[in-house]
């Protein structure tokens, strides 16, 4: 009996360990060879950064390159950010929390590849002219263009984010309402399902000329286009999530006297949360594509509009600067949404830290 109680106690303590503690418990101690390989990988970004600077300074330019030091400062800043990240990982590792350090080690080859790509791109544009300037500007020209027009770019980025989240939240809210009603009520699903089947597969770009004609303003039409794409993704995900909830839960709740409102709020929605959050992530991807289409064709402010405007003036360096900012903004938005999703689903196995 005492041995049984002892085993139960050990099992309880094991179950109470966090995911990181279990990983640490199950991981093997690194050998000397593994440590040497880790050290080599962590030095690769510095080596590739030096290659970038040497390539830029030693090989003669093939075209005009004003303010040449901007590119070198940029590479130094990237290496500085990597150094801060690496030092933070080492600090956490000494505090018996190696997860950050392992992330740095895992991403070091990726950072190396990015820096080597910059060196190769600079060689093809500024040094050899294989990619003709100004149609394909070098990195230094793009950086100078972005710095010189940063106020307008920041204002355009702000307007893009406002339009993006306005259309996204409208689409998500309407998608949740539609999905919950369709997933719970067969009558609603009977009437709404054909509409979803018809509108869903239609590409977002198809609605642009229609909205330019019937919308009260181009801005309202852009909001509609973004909201429509988000609405479809969230609606389908919510319907799927509620449909996959075990029907025995509903029967048990009805037996205990639960009302329809309680069935929706206490069983249907909580059970469909993972699927709903997945739909929200897909909706953001759709919204990011939709907003660029809308801004390029109608809206008079935003990063998509800025790209079209600069292209009409053959300012390709500014156009590329806006394109890079668009990529950075959308990556940050998507990463943030995934972080929220992981936090809300931390109770799932493998999601928690």
Whether 350 is covered by a domain: the verdict is no
Task: Give whole-number Cα distances, 302 to 146, 150, 157, 229, 306, in Å.
Answer: 15, 13, 6, 19, 6
How much is the pLDDT for 15?
47
Domain boundary among 106, 123, 145: 145
Separation between Cα atoms, residue 139 and residue 149, nearest integer Å: 15
Contact 300, 218 (CB under 8 A): yes
Co-location of 174 and 308 in the same domain: yes
C-beta separation of 136 from 125 below 8 A: yes
Domain-embedded: residue 292: yes
15 within a domain of the structure (yes/no): no
254 and 117 co-located in one domain? no
Spell out the per-residue pLDDT of the chain, length 353, in tens: 444 444 444 444 444 444 455 445 445 566 777 778 888 989 999 999 999 999 999 999 888 888 889 999 999 999 999 999 999 988 988 888 788 888 888 999 999 999 999 999 999 999 998 988 888 899 999 999 999 999 999 999 999 999 999 999 999 999 999 988 888 788 888 888 888 888 777 777 777 777 777 777 778 888 888 898 889 889 988 888 888 877 777 778 788 787 777 777 788 778 888 888 888 988 988 888 888 887 776 677 788 888 888 888 888 999 999 999 999 988 998 888 888 888 888 776 544 44
Predicted local confidence at residue 47, as pLDDT: 94
Per the domain annotation, does 351 fall within a domain? Answer: no
My answer on whether 42 and 168 are in the same domain is no
* Assigned domain for 230 exists: yes
Residue finishing a domain among 145, 177, 194: 145
pTM of the predicted model, to two decimals? 0.78
The count of structural domains within the chain is 2
State the Cα–Cα distance between residues 178 and 166, nearest whole angstrom: 18
| Pair 319, 203: CB distance under 8 Å | no
Per-residue pLDDT at 151 = 92
Q: Do 181 and 307 have their domain in common?
A: yes
Q: Are residues 286 and 162 in the same domain?
A: yes
Identify whether residues 187 and 321 lie together within a single domain. Answer: yes
Same domain? 333 vs 290: yes
Question: 48 and 103 share a domain?
Answer: yes
20 part of a folded domain: no
Is residue 198 located within the same domain as residue 126?
A: no
Which domain does 248 fall in, by range?
A: 150-344
If asked whether residues 124 and 174 sit together in one domain, one would say no
pLDDT value at position 24? 52
Helix axes 139-148, 316-344, angle to 10 degrees: 80
Residue 2 lies in a domain: no
124 and 165 co-located in one domain: no
Write down which residue in 87, 113, 145 finishes a domain.
145
Distance CA 347, CA 200 (A): 32
* Residue 11 within any structural domain of the chain: no
For 232, counting Cβ atoms within 10 Å of its Cβ (0-12 exposed, 13-18 middle, 19+ buried), the class is buried
Do residues 95 and 159 both lie within one domain? Answer: no
- CATH code, 173: 1.10.3720.10
């Amino acid at each position: 009996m005492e041995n049984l109680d002892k085993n139960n106690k050990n099992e309880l303590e094991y179950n109470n360990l966090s995911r990181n503690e279990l990983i640490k418990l199950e991981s093997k101690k690194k050998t000397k060879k593994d440590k040497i390989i880790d050290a080599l990988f962590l030095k690769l970004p510095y080596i590739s950064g030096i290659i970038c600077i040497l390539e830029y300074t030693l090989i003669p330019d093939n075209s005009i390159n004003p303010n040449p030091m901007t590119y070198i400062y940029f590479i130094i800043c990237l290496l500085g950010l990597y150094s801060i990240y690496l030092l933070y990982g080492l600090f956490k590792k000494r505090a018996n929390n190696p997860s950050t350090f392992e992330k740095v080690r895992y991403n070091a080859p990726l950072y190396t590849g990015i820096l080597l790509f910059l060196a190769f791109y600079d060689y093809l544009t500024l040094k050899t002219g294989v990619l003709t300037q100004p149609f394909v500007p070098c990195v230094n020209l793009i950086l100078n263009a972005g710095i010189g027009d940063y106020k307008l770019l920041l204002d355009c980025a702000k307007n893009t984010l406002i339009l993006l989240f306005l259309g996204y939240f409208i689409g998500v809210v309407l998608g949740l309402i539609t999905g919950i009603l369709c997933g719970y009520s067969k009558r609603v699903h009977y009437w709404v399902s054909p509409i979803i089947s018809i509108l869903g597969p239609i590409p977002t770009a198809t609605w642009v000329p229609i909205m330019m004609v019937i919308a009260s303003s181009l801005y309202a039409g852009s909001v509609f286009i973004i909201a429509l794409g988000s609405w479809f993704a969230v609606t389908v995900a919510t319907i799927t999530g509620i449909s996959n909830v075990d029907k025995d839960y509903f029967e048990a709740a009805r037996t205990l006297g639960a009302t329809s409102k309680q069935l929706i709020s206490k069983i249907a929605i909580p059970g469909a949360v993972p699927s709903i959050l997945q739909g929200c992530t897909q909706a953001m991807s759709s919204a990011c594509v939709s907003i660029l289409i809308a801004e390029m064709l109608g809206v008079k402010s935003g990063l998509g509009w800025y790209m079209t405007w600069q292209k009409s003036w053959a300012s390709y360096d500014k156009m590329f600067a806006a394109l890079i900012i668009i990529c950075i903004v959308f990556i940050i938005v998507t990463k943030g949404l995934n972080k929220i999703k992981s936090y809300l689903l931390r109770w799932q196995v493998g999601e928690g830290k």
